[in-house]
């Protein structure tokens, strides 16, 4: 029986490189930001709502569920914008082991 061989050391970086992670963060943050901006515009304009006394849907009062969704959309959009800014302004550094 041959002697057991030592396991080869695994490379330090086994996953995607930092540049790829940065591109993923930028892409996801930009996409989420665009979706949140569109959702915000839809929730403010409310084209699906009709008011009994007015024919302009933008003048209708917002319901509680709509308000909660609008706040969630704004918070998620701000987090996406923060992630986008951080990903674009920080420079990747090599780890020193």
Residue 57 CB partners (closer than 8 Å, separation 6+): 45, 46, 47, 48, 49, 50, 51
Q: 55-70 burial string, b = 16+ CB within 10 Å, else e?
A: eeeeeeeeeeeeeebb
**Could you tell me if residue 32 is inside a domain?**
yes
Which domain, by its residues, includes 42? 18-89
Q: What pTM did the predictor assign?
A: 0.66
Q: Is residue 2 part of a domain?
A: no
pLDDT digit string (tens) for 28-83?
Answer: 999 999 999 999 998 888 877 777 777 665 667 788 888 899 999 999 999 999 99
Any domain includes 97? no
- The pLDDT tens digits for 9-35 are 555 555 557 678 888 999 999 999 999
Cα–Cα distance between 23 and 4 in angstroms, integer? 42
Alpha-carbon span 40 to 76, nearest angstrom: 11
């Amino acid at each position: 029986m041959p002697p057991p061989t030592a396991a080869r050391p695994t490379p330090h970086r086994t996953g995607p490189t930092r540049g790829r992670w940065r591109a993923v963060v930028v892409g996801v943050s930009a996409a989420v930001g665009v979706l949140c901006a569109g959702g915000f515009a839809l929730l403010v304009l409310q084209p699906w709502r009709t008011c009994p006394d007015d024919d302009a849907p933008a003048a209708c009062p917002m319901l509680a569920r709509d308000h909660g969704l609008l706040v969630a959309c704004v918070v998620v959009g701000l987090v996406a914008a923060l992630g986008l800014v951080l990903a674009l302004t920080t420079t990747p550094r090599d780890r020193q082991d």
